[in-house]
Structure 1
Amino acid sequence: MSDYRLLVFDWDGTLVDSIGRIVEAMHRAADVAGIPRCSDGAVRGIIGLELGVAIRALYPELDEPLLIETIRRAYSEQYLALETEPSPLFDGVQESLELFRKQGYRLAVATGKGRHGLQRVLADKGWQDYFDVTRCADETASKPDPRMLHEIARHCRVEPAQALMVGDSIFDLLMARNAGMDAVAVGYGAQPLRVLRECAPRLAINQFNELRTWLDGLGAQCALEVSDYVG
């Protein structure tokens, strides 16, 4: 096991292959509200933010609270309609998380989803008690504010330097930096690695299994250093 004790994961685009549905739901919400659709790239660029914050980032010219609430409600309804068959986990996620648990890591989720939405998808997978703690954007500060990670670390009684944030957006990586945590950028979700590397993550990966390989390597290195010291 590496020096890290706590692994914190974003949900959408990191553990679950849901980015396409998020983009489509936002497009449909714009249609319902009678406003222009943003580009796919623009929508992908706000994934990870709390929904209200994301809408304002996409449509900064909107200053009508009722219209923003219409978009919010429409997005939630459209996303649920698209999720009649829940979004699948990315390859390697299930097996890797199980191994991390067996190795003694604390596991957590820090997501831009609302609590109701996260509880729904956790229940669908039978994961209501799978993670040590989960935090959602509607019950704390939105990313990249570090409050979410500070709350998770306190709950797990782990120092920020002993925790690792894994995410697919710049908001995940900036949140980790603001919290004093290392971060891993995943390039198969909302944003490409060329963008994420600007945040100087500790590791950049294109497949989830690469995280397991890297952590195992750190654990082996730690064991070797201890052995050398004792000898």
Structure 2
Amino acid sequence: MEQFTPSARSKVKRIPKRGAYDAATVYSILDAGCIAHVGFAVDQQPFVIPTIYGRENDTLYLHGATTSRMLQQLQRGLPICVTVTHVDGLVLARSAFHHSMNYRSVVVFGTATLVPDDEKMHALAVVSEQILKGRWEEVRLPNAKELKATSVVRVQIEEASAKIRTGDPGDEPEDYALPIWAGVVPMHTTFGPVQPDPAMETPLPTPASVAALYPKQGPSSGASAEDPSRDQA
């Protein structure tokens, strides 16, 4: 799919020039995150639940315990709304009214269906790779008991819209002469030094999936993936 066709429910109405409906933009925003807020209604009571997700093509996977209220409801085929947002900066204007944020967001509409048992392992791998690429290959995979205790639903993306704000503050023309500081304070997600589990029986090198998060400085101050003793310090 190259373009999502907006309808009344997915079309960006407030500042429509910030809206985007091409799949490349939507997918790039989804791929940059791993936490979504899932909205659904049960008996006219709305719920919005934060959860981990994974994307594969035009499908989102959501997982949780079989006892999860959200998963129990979603597998009935409920229509849902999934949102993902990244805040890229605080936009500080000269007036309080024109303060804003630079952001990238996506709203997805679809219907959740239960993933059958023979596809569950693949779906969980997609979610795992969304969180930390390569980690799935480094760990013990779920056993039969753990798979039985886990539910996964897929959400086929029926409609989606992105909304993006970038750039400087926009003040009223007469306010630009005011002696008030204005500008953008960028925001970024960073990873701190790794904290190896003290329950490990022997020191081990930082795994490749984690080391890849630190392409320049290494996974901890002065530590490297090949130096387990310094990782443990």
Higher strand fraction (1 or 2) = 2
TM-score by length of 2: 0.26
Higher helix fraction (1 or 2) = 1
With a CA cutoff of 8 Å and minimum separation of 6, indicate the structure with the bigger relative contact order: 1
TM-score by length of 1: 0.26
Question: Which is higher, the Rg of structure 1 or of structure 2?
Answer: 2
